[in-house]
Amino acid sequence: MANPFLEKGYTMPYQISQNKYREQVFGHLPKYNYPQQRPEPLAGRNVPPRNYRPSSDTPVYQDKTPRNYYDSPRQQQQQEQYEQRYNPNGGQDVMKPHPGWVLLLRFHRDGEVSVRRALTMAAKHIDSDGGRILGLARSYSVRLREGGDAWVTFGGMRHFGGGNWDVQQTPSQDDTHYAVLAIYYPSLSRAIQWFDRDSCFKQKDFPPPYTTDCIALPLSSSVDTKFCKTLVMSEYPRISHPEYFRDKFSIPTQEMMRTRFRATPYVVKASSIPVDDPRQRVARHLRGSWIKRNSIITLSMFDSLNETHRYFTDPEYLKCKEAQDRVSAPTTVIMDLEDWRM
């Protein structure tokens, strides 16, 4: 039997590379999302990578002033790299910095007090590195919209009348056992350095007696982290027909959130592939495996929880969701952030 998707020109995900697969899911991606063209400094500093050579169309500033004969070759090399990177005449940076990363730390709700105390001690360190604690989503503020893999839900009892009780079969309306902490960092190296060296979070059994699962998500666009209140994260373990998903769901919902709702759509559009190169901007599993490997992860920021309810109950979204359910089975989690201070 012929496949109607292949007859229309759609390709299968196993026939293309990960970058091409991600491009087919979301459409055209900015150039800085490709690690070959826009590597990130490992040290988190705003310096060009090693062996960087500008293209022929990159404006290069030529300094005609005589150099000091006492300058070392190392200082001359650093000065040349600075001149290749910047254009003082235009006042613009040739290589724009990355939007940053978002750390999502998931822990059991019983350890909320311990996490708040640890954040009180680590707040100054995070601020000194340019990070920002976005907020804490408590267990009653973490809701499953669809799916539910790797999320344990409470067995909510429901009365059917006549003395009959049964477990509620709607996990999207139940609370979870987990709370989620969101932290913004300008670079991945600084985020890993804090998570691995913090006196509390570096312990694998913190908060006791459970643990903290952590994943780092690369931002695809610059956002104002001071006003993000509600996060909507979706995990797509497999999209059978990426181009169909892009035309019928990804592009229409992105335009819908941008124009009709107070939201910033798809600030994260990353793939969760295991790689060894720290310069590639993919989702990083710092601890735990609550996100499946080789999946697509999206993250959108809404102004409030009411806006997410309006969005998910909109007739236009429900029409797009029918197309989504034909090619994927995602897990969508809504996280309403609150103030983390005790």
Phi, psi of 232 (to 5 degrees): -120, 110
| pLDDT score for 86 | 43
**pLDDT of the residue at 37:** 40
In a domain, 302, yes or no: yes
Residue corresponding to tokens 């060296």: 197
Query: What is the DSSP code string of 7-32?
Result: HTT---GGGS-HHHHHHHHHSS--GG
Instruction: Give residue 22's pLDDT.
Output: 74
Number of domains in the chain: 1
Q: In terms of C-beta density within 10 A (0-12 exposed, 13-18 middle, 19 or more buried), how is residue 73 classed?
A: exposed
What is d(CA 33, CA 194) in angstroms, rounded to the nearest whole number?
A: 24
Q: Is 247 exposed, middle or buried (0-12, 13-18, 19+ CB in 10 A)?
A: middle
DSSP string, 52-95: ----TTS------SPPPTT--HHHHHHHHHHHHHEETTTTEESS
Query: Distance (Å, rounded) from C-alpha 245 to C-alpha 325?
Result: 9
Give the model's pLDDT for residue 89.
42
- Bridge partners of residue 137, in order along the sequence: 180
301: phi then psi, degrees, rounded to nearest 5:
-115, 125
- Token pair 């707040």 is found at 123
Find the domain containing 162 and state its range: 101-336
E-state strands within the chain: 86-87, 92-93, 101-108, 132-137, 142-146, 157-161, 164-167, 178-185, 212-218, 230-236, 263-271, 284-287, 296-302, 331-336
pLDDT, residue 8, reads 53
Q: What is the mean pLDDT of the chain?
A: 76
Is 73 within a domain? no
Find how far residue 115's CA is from the centre of its chain.
Answer: 21
Tens digit of each residue's pLDDT (9 = 90 or more) over 7-18: 555 555 555 566
Report if residue 58 sits inside a domain.
no
Asked if the structure places residue 15 within a domain, the reply is no
Residue 326 lies in a domain: yes
Residues making up the chain, counted from first to last: 342
**pTM score, two decimals?**
0.72
Res 63: pLDDT = 47
CA 185 to chain CA centroid, Å, is 11
Beta pairing, strands 212-218 & 284-287 = antiparallel
Q: Which pLDDT score, from 0 to 100, does residue 297 have? A: 94
Whether 257 is covered by a domain: the verdict is yes
Which of 26, 27, 24 lies closest to 9 in space, CA to CA? 24
- Residue of 8, 11, 9 whose CA lies nearest to 240: 11
pLDDT, position 280 = 79
The answer to whether residue 68 is domain-embedded is: no
Inter-axis angle of helices 315-327 and 251-260, nearest 10: 160
Q: Which residues of the chain have pLDDT under 50?
A: 30-39, 41-47, 60-71, 82-95, 157-160, 167, 169-173
Q: Is residue 51 part of a domain?
A: no
Do 281 and 35 form a contact (C-beta atoms < 8 A)?
Answer: yes
Q: Are 82 and 54 in contact (CB under 8 A)?
A: no
Query: Residue 296: which CATH number?
Result: 3.30.70.100
